[in-house]
Amino acid sequence: MVILEFKNVSAAYGKEEILHNISFQMKKGNFVGVIGPNGSGKSTLLKTAVKILRHSKGQVLFKNTDTGKISARDFAKSVSFLPSDIEIAYPYTVKELLLMARYPFSSDFRNPSKRDIEIIVSISKQMELTPFFDRTIFQMSEGEKQRVLLAQCLVQEPELIVLDEPTSHLDIGFQFAFLDLLKTLQKTSDLSILAALHDLNLASQYCENILLLKNGSVIKFGEVQDVIKFEIIEDVYHTNVLVYPHPVSGKPYVFGIPESWKNLTEK
Amino acid sequence: MKKKASLLIITLTGVAILTGVCSGIETYSPLKLIRIFSKPYDYQFESTILFQIRIPRVWCAFLVGSGLSLSGLILQAILKNPLAESYILGISGGASIGIAAGIILGQMASIPVFAFAGSILSILVLLLAASIRKLSAGTLILIGIMLNFIFSSFSLLVITLLQKERFMEAVIWFMGNLSSYQSDVLKIAPLFLLPAYAVTWLFWKQLNIFSMGEEKSVALGLDPEKKKYIWFVITGLITGYCVSLAGLVGFVGLVIPHAVRILVGADHKKTIPSTILVGGSFLILADTLARTIVQPIEIPVGVISGFFGGIIFVFLLLKTARKQKW
């Protein structure tokens, strides 16, 4: 089943068009990585997917329904979004942040229901956040904070979760922990994941499909092995690379070769 | 911890009201207060002071303090910026134009109406700017600050051209004071302000979500575009009303929400009622000080609230800077 589909989508900020004629289909339960150089339109594509940015041409379909026809509240019941570099201005506690994500499920005035509380408790347990429940977000490390924000997304019980560079401020240990967690959720709760990732190797190890963007157009969309190839990566990123299978996973792994090493490689 | 905070806030409110009612040129002990209340006919003079002057004034201070603080809290959530406040966003400038206009036209009795109109006018200008182009919260704040400068320079120019007596009148309005509120304006105030407070508290969830920023708001199912305008109008109305009672009492809207967050946390379910109580109490205390510190002269309350508010604010910042982000 197709969970998200872009049909000839173009999107613009003001008059400047950022995305040009984007088309792809994402299957339910898949982990799709969006990669591409800086300024290639990754964030814009994600924002278009979650209705933050209205596209100027084409159609964005969520489970075969035009997203323009779904209300913000209903959309939030199925899709959650984690923006990049989200700054929280006020000292909310973990509990308060998680409760916020139940907003689309009840009216403005209602207190949290029994079910709201159950979901929050079970997700904090799963994410090992229970000990932090009453701590404020200002008292947490970057890695913990990112886990809270992911938990907030999961409290919406989404079918599709969209993440913009979720691991960019994390060290390698937290990166793996974060993506492992997503991978587990993908399998256990049939979650579909669309994530912009800066790190090609993380994308290659964790995603089933890769969408490669350059200057707002799709260069390639397909299985990891068909996209992470040295000739494609070299062409898009204007740098020399070697691509070898990862010794454990067998997935393609990109080794960069900076220009300044040229005399080394010639020897 | 949380129970402690709410107990503290309620105690503060009680103490502030009691202090405000008891002190003045004639200071009463709380015991005497009870006697006056129980036998008003035996204390003709004292009960006149209490019911005609003190209590209305304390009530006025409470309403103005709570209103300004609450509109600060709302704007800080909507714009996701802890420095937002209705005075920074050009409302004070708008009000000062209204006041200046009232003084030029010699309509001293209708200055409240002019001040209110000026505040609403500046909110409308801000909204107009926001609707022409989709603006980020940061740009909106900058535009507000600029509007404030433009309006204030204009009204300052106008009042420098005035005769001396009128000049003083204008300055007192600009500094904010609670001695010349009009009793008709105060009488209608609860009908106007209390429903606005109630509506704000009823929709506390929206403020929580707004404060996560626009992108996250959409993702949590709240489309902020239209609702943002409704909140702007609510804050404009509250602020406008406060200005028409007391002129430009600055700073309360910035300091009080911040202090409240330190006490009870960030959740608007708790910060809304706390801000109303703490803001009201703060201005009662500031006003009590303003009218008793150099008797028989009254200092404009805006001077006191700015002075002590500023000191308290810096103190809080230094104390919490390590835990909080800014």
User: Which residue from B281, B279, B288, B283 is spatially nearest to B20, judged by alpha carbons?
Assistant: B288
Residue B11 lies inside a defined structural domain of this protein: yes
Q: Mutate which of B134, B207, B211, B216 to disrupt the A interface (most A C-beta within 10 Å)?
A: B216
Q: Which residue in B62, B2, B16 sits closest to B252, CA to CA?
A: B62
Task: Report helix, strand or coil for A26.
Answer: strand
Which residues lie closer than 8 Å to B38 by C-beta, 6 or more apart?
Answer: none
Residue A213 pLDDT > 80, yes or no?
Answer: yes
What's residue A267's pLDDT? 54
DSSP string, A28-92: TT-EEEEE-STTSSHHHHHHHHTTSS--SEEEEEETTEEGGGS-HHHHHHHEEEE-TTPPP-S--
**CA A83 – CA A257 distance, rounded (Å):** 31
User: CB pairs under 8 A, 24+ apart, for A120-127?
Assistant: A120/A95, A120/A155, A123/A98, A123/A151, A123/A154, A123/A155, A124/A94, A124/A98, A124/A151, A127/A151, A127/A154, A127/A181
pLDDT tens string A106-138: 888 888 889 999 999 999 988 888 899 999 999
- Cα–Cα distance measured from residue A63 to residue A42, given in angstroms and rounded to the nearest whole number: 22
What pLDDT score does B322 carry? 57
Which residues span the domain enclosing B45?
A: 2-320
- Residue B325 located in a structural domain: no
- Note whether A88 contacts B265, CB cutoff 8 Å: no
Percentage of chain A lying above the pLDDT 90 cut: 71
Structural domain includes residue B326: no
Contact at CB, A81 and B202, closer than 8 angstroms: no
The residue extents of the domains of chain A are 2-85+158-266
pLDDT digit string (tens) for chain B, length 326 residues? 467 888 999 999 999 999 999 988 888 888 888 888 888 888 888 888 888 889 999 999 999 999 999 999 999 999 888 888 887 788 878 888 888 888 888 777 788 888 888 888 888 888 888 777 777 778 888 888 888 888 888 888 887 887 777 788 788 888 888 887 888 888 888 888 999 999 999 999 999 999 999 899 999 999 888 888 889 889 888 988 898 888 888 888 989 999 999 899 999 999 999 999 999 999 999 999 998 888 778 888 888 888 888 888 888 778 766 555 44
What residues of B are in the A interface, CB distance below 8 Å? 76-77, 80-82, 202-203, 205-206, 208-209, 211-216, 218-223, 261, 265-267, 323-325
Cβ distance of A50 and B323 shorter than 8 Å: no
Q: What is the CATH number of domain A2-85+158-266?
A: 3.40.50.300
User: How many domains in chain B?
Assistant: 1
Residue B14 has a CB neighbour count (10 Å cut-off) of: 12
B18: domain CATH number is 1.10.3470.10
State mean pLDDT over A12-31.
92
Residues of A in contact with B265 (CB under 8 A): 91-93, 96, 136
Chain B residues within an 8 Å CB radius of A104? 220-221
Q: Which of A14, A20, A5 is nearest to A57 (CA)?
A: A20
Q: Would you state the pLDDT for residue A117?
A: 93
Task: Tally Cβ neighbours within 10 Å of residue A185.
Answer: 17
Contacts of A153 (CB under 8 A, 6+ apart): A80, A81, A82, A101, A161, A163
Distance of CA A206 to the CA centre of its chain: 12
Burial class of residue A193 in the structure, from the number of CB atoms within 10 Å of its CB (0-12 exposed, 13-18 middle, 19+ buried) = buried
Cα separation, B217 vs B234, whole angstroms: 20
Q: Which single residue is written with the structure tokens 């200092």?
A: B299
pLDDT digits (tens, 9 = 90+) for B66-122: 999 999 999 999 988 888 888 778 887 888 888 888 888 877 778 888 888 888 888
Flag whether B155 is in a domain: yes
* B175 within domain boundaries: yes
Q: Which residue has the higher pLDDT, A164 or A171?
A: A164
Provide the 8-state DSSP code for A251: -
pLDDT of residue B88: 78
ipTM of this predicted complex? Answer: 0.90
Comparing C-alpha atoms, which of B137, B299, B117 is closest to residue B225?
A: B137
The pLDDT tens digits of the residues spanning B136-154 come to: 778 888 888 888 888 888 8
